[in-house]
Amino acid sequence: MQTQRFYTLTASCPDRVGIVARVSNFIAEHGGWILETNLHAEHESKRYFMRIEVKADSLPFLLAEFRERFAPLAREFGMEWKITDSAVKKRVVLMVSKQEHCLYDLLARWQSKELDIEIPCVISNHDTFRGFVEWHGIPFHHVPVTAENKTAAYAEVRRIVDDVRGDCVVLARYMQILSPELCAAYPGRILNIHHSFLPSFVGAKPYHQAFARGVKLIGATCHYVTAELDQGPIIDQDVIRVDHSDGVEDMVRYGKDIEKAVLARGLRYHLEDRVLVHGNKTIVFR
């Protein structure tokens, strides 16, 4: 992990000869010092993906001028692109229900600076963790969700996220289905941890489903949230082996450890601009 300030350029475009050469030359012509490069060609879709870290003080201009100068080249290649500054901390809004393990883990990583982010607030449909969150000096918003008030509740969630200028939202075992409108408002910016190895066992009680099926592996999946339940682009997954002697309670206990690790890892990839979404798939530059 870099300790010095750097810019991260990510881009995807139709694959053709000369992409890397032109981008690298653009950076070199302005004295840019490339710290890390990740490249991938998707043969089936004939699309090219890249992630480049550039030492910030090696360039003679800031991001606004970089964007202005780079735009003609990006248009020439039909790029979807962005560039971010490592000195600007991402603002991560956490959402949680009554399961505490992912919330506790993320707050511990935030407090120790392992995740160098800002957490402007935590939103929950229960008041359970108010004291714990506020003890960390983080504002807590209780937004109850019922069958009757979902439209108003998710409008309030959106108001809060916009008000605190959240860069992304993390569902740290938030056990409600978000409205299609809320999903559409933040495409590629809402991350969820699902307690199964998707696409197996979507929806509620996946450990019960896994136990009934007699599987020998259980897992967890960090994915982007879309309007279709548990079907968004997958960022990271992991598994652990189980056998006939393990009951549902054992699987839940094992699963909590996997969920924490997978969510933290997936969030880190997202924060470091290592995830490029392509349709319902992702390219993850680890």
Summarised one tens digit per residue, pLDDT across range 108-130 is 999 999 999 999 999 999 999 99
Of 85, 101, 123, the residue that ends a domain is 85
User: Is the domain of 107 the same as that of 76?
Assistant: no
Q: How many domains does the chain have?
A: 2
What are the 10-residue block averages of pLDDT along the chain, 286 residues in total?
A: 85 97 98 98 96 98 96 98 98 97 98 97 98 98 95 97 98 95 96 90 87 92 93 96 92 94 98 97 97
pLDDT at 3: 75
Tens-place pLDDT, residues 57-98: 999 999 999 999 999 999 999 999 999 999 999 999 999 999
Of 61, 85, 109, the residue that ends a domain is 85
Asked if the structure places residue 22 within a domain, the reply is: yes
pLDDT at 197: 87
Give the separation between CA 14 and CA 78, rounded to whole angstroms. Answer: 7
pLDDT at 27: 98
> Domain span at residue 253?
92-284
Asked if the structure places residue 268 within a domain, the reply is: yes
- Coil, strand or helix: which one is 193? strand
Of 68, 85, 102, the residue that ends a domain is 85
Residue 219, Cβ neighbours under 10 Å: how many?
Answer: 23
Give the separation between CA 245 and CA 98, rounded to whole angstroms. Answer: 28
Which residue is listed with tokens 């870099």? Answer: 2
Give the separation between CA 93 and CA 57, rounded to whole angstroms. Answer: 30
User: Is the domain of 97 the same as that of 158?
Assistant: yes
User: Is the domain of 32 the same as that of 145?
Assistant: no
User: Is the domain of 59 the same as that of 161?
Assistant: no
- pTM passes above 0.85: yes
Give the separation between CA 58 and CA 79, rounded to whole angstroms. Answer: 24
Q: What is the DSSP string of 198-238?
A: TTSS-SS-HHHHHHHHT-SEEEEEEEE--SSTT-SPEEEEE
pLDDT at 55: 98
User: Is the domain of 223 the same as that of 280?
Assistant: yes
Asked if the structure places residue 1 within a domain, the reply is: no
Tens-place pLDDT, residues 231-241: 999 999 999 99
User: Is the domain of 64 the same as that of 97?
Assistant: no
Tokens of 181: 């409108």
pLDDT at 239: 95
Give the separation between CA 77 and CA 74, rounded to whole angstroms. Answer: 5
pLDDT at 94: 98
pLDDT at 32: 98
Is residue 273 annotated as a catalytic residue, yes or no? no
pLDDT at 279: 93
User: Is the domain of 105 the same as that of 32?
Assistant: no
User: Is the domain of 27 the same as that of 112?
Assistant: no
Of these residues, 167, 230, 236, 273, which one is catalytic? 230
User: Is the domain of 33 the same as that of 101?
Assistant: no
User: Is the domain of 209 the same as that of 260?
Assistant: yes
Asked if the structure places residue 63 within a domain, the reply is: yes
pLDDT at 156: 98
